[in-house]
Amino acid sequence: MEATEDEIVEQLYNLIVNPNTREWERYLLTATKNSLTDQVNFKEQLAKLEAELRPLALRNNLTPDVADFYQMITGKKAVEHVVKEKHFISDSVYQERAIFAGGCFWCMVEPFENQPGIVSVLSGYTGGTTEDPSYDQVSSGHTGHVEAVEIIFDTRVVSYRDLLALYWQITDPTDALGQFQDRGMQYRPIIFPTTNEQKVLAEKTKQAVINSGRYKRPIVTEIRPAEKFWPAENYHQAFYKKQPKRYRAIKRERRQFLAYQHLMGNIRQKMAQIKRNPS
């Protein structure tokens, strides 16, 4: 069922006053609202607005409520911005939660989600002070949150130690100001243990990384007790499936950096071994 003109105008007003609407979106919505107030052709103005929003809509980069409005005016079903239905612990004996921050959460989902024993991976925000933060708020770097992933895993199939081993492989533990091309405190690497056992294992693996001699710079990855995890908007979930071409480009840059870093680490270890055993 198509939305009526009155419903569309009402949504325009709501979005203009919505604090989560970006300024660029608000500018376009206000211009459309003013034109409709001046009784300019309704369909023409709506088509113009749709064309102006389309580039970001196609890249899933509209804020959630504006994305829903776009779906409304194009006659498509709006996507509900809810968390994954299956993202909960259904077996308290054999399932645990793990929370890792390691740069943009778009690139932290696939490496874990494709491992055996993973029940669910959710993108979100944690570690800050703002209640129920939005993507734009976290991206500003002023909320104290980091982008992170919350993982529910089956301990009969995969261990927390296995997840830690993967985490150290896909992040740069020497960069406290971001990760790879993602710059800012909201991208810094942090491990958030959810149990004391996880905390002990995280600290042991961090010390092992320090002792390995693979890195020239200090290991700066933090280990902090798990805090409230706020799920990100739905359009951020499973980004690698929704935007495969864009994801592959981002992933390629990360892999190239990590490949070079791991190569240098291998050389560093080999040189240290030669110094210890010159013969």
**Active-site residue list:** 104
Identify whether the C-beta of residue 230 lies closer than 8 Å to the C-beta of residue 126. yes
